[in-house]
Amino acid sequence: MHAVALPGIPEVRPGDDLAALLATAGARLDPSLGAADVLVVAHKVVSKAEGRVRALVDIEPSPRAQQLAAEHGKDPRHVQAVLDESAELVRADRGRLISRTRHGFVCANAGVDQSNTGAEGVVVLLPEDPDASARALRAALGVGAVVISDSWGRPWRVGQVEVAIGAAGLRVLVDHRGHPDRDGRPMAASVIAVADEAAAAADLVRKKASGEPAVRIRGLEQLLIEGAGQDAAVLIRAPEDDLFR
């Protein structure tokens, strides 16, 4: 497997043609982007291009947002943006807000981010439909698969990793259940989150402040699927199956 960041992608603004920017950057690679490639794209540039940004000055915090902000040392306008993107506030503790988004993601601040926004006083939201965004980019670029990633913390583990919040053209999950292990016993729980692993691998070849939001991965041809493939939504655990809530 080989991973390389696409060079020379400028700051993305609302309304920009992200596919064109990625295609131009991909053409600088040797060889350029092709049908066997998996392209991992940080959600932030997708959100910016789609206009999924909010200026804090335009946000009027509700009494609940003001209360949570006072309790957790946060900007009440940022808290209101989090509440607006949340279907449920799962936990508020020690300055951290854990939300379930309308997509079904359980993550910090409903994915509302103030870092690398490209402007002061602006927050970036998650894409409205990350799987649809991945499908559109894949069709426009002619690559084998597109994974849209975000950086999340993990229960019971220190640190953050990139995970897939959108995907197209890829076997998002590879189910080994029922297949024999090396000793001949059938495996009972081996379902591999391949899209998450691709997202995490891509993050190893770029820096957080490098301005390199897209990474091409080669060597995953066996995981590509004709057509749209699985959505990243299949990675969301149903609330009734979540043992930690």
Going along the chain from its start, the domains and CATH numbers come out as 1-52+127-239 (3.30.1330.100), 53-125 (3.90.1660.10)
Note the pLDDT tens digit of each residue in 77-105.
999 999 999 999 999 988 889 999 999 99
Residue 200, number of CB atoms within 10 A of its CB: 18
Residue 163, number of CB atoms within 10 A of its CB: 22
pLDDT > 70 fraction of the chain, expressed in percent and rounded? 96
pLDDT attached to residue 184: 79
pLDDT attached to residue 81: 97
Strands 145-154, 38-42: pairing is parallel
CA distance linking residue 33 with residue 38, whole number of Å: 9
DSSP 137: H
Q: Which helix (H) or strand (E) holds 134?
A: helix 130-141
The overall average pLDDT reported for the chain is 91
Tokens of 147: 């994974």
Residue 148, number of CB atoms within 10 A of its CB: 28
- CA distances to 71, 96, 138, 194 from 164, rounded to whole Å, are 32, 22, 15, 9
Q: In which band, very low, low, confident or very high, does the pLDDT at 228 lie, cut at 50, 70 and 90?
A: low
pLDDT attached to residue 178: 67
pLDDT attached to residue 154: 85
pLDDT attached to residue 211: 80
pLDDT > 90 fraction of the chain, expressed in percent and rounded? 76
**Residue 214 scores a pLDDT above 70:** yes
Radius of gyration, CA atoms only, the chain = 19
Note the pTM of the prediction, 2 decimals: 0.92
Q: In which band, very low, low, confident or very high, does the pLDDT at 188 lie, cut at 50, 70 and 90?
A: low
Note the pLDDT tens digit of each residue in 6-40.
999 999 999 999 999 999 999 999 899 999 999 99
Strands 191-193, 2-5: pairing is unpaired
Q: Which helix (H) or strand (E) holds 217?
A: strand 214-218
CA distance linking residue 93 with residue 81, whole number of Å: 18
